[in-house]
Amino acid sequence: MAKIYAQNEYEKEFFKIFESLSMTRSGWSVWSDFITVSAISLSNAFELDSERKAAREKEYCECIKRLGGTEKAAELLGVIVKAFEENPSQDFLGGLFIKLGLNNHWRGQFFTPYHIFVSLWRKLL
């Protein structure tokens, strides 16, 4: 993985954990599994879409196995929570996604910086 420059302590901590998970797998695979695990955890915690709970739980277990257990996924999620507690008006995940080089211009993935998005959104309201 190329050297990634962290903007703050939360990014630095996230990148350190993420890099340890990316030693034998692509960053995209690690990111995908982590985001899936996080989404399923939240969905199951709030009992959303109970009809698909068993299927989600199976997918969760498969992702956790590929991540090497729950510990690192929980650490990553904890870093995100701490970052949002300090500054809830940020696009922390979007920034990580870009800095990790996971966006793909061939698929038309160009992201607007969060401060510009918020400014435009306010004008629309």
64-93 pLDDT, tens digit per residue, is 999 999 999 999 999 999 999 999 888 888
More confident residue, 105 or 45: 45
What is the percent of the chain with per-residue pLDDT over 70, rounded to a whole number? 82
Residue 38 lies in a domain: yes
pLDDT of residue 113: 65
Residue 100 lies in a domain: yes
Total number of domains in the chain = 1
N- to C-terminal Cα separation, the chain: 41
Residue 21 has pLDDT above 60, yes or no: yes
Name the nearest CA neighbour of 27 among 120, 96, 85.
Answer: 96
Residue 80 lies in a domain: yes
pLDDT of residue 118: 65
Instruction: Write out the residue range of the structural domain in which residue 95 sits.
Output: 9-124
Residue 28 lies in a domain: yes
Name the nearest CA neighbour of 29 among 39, 18, 14.
Answer: 18
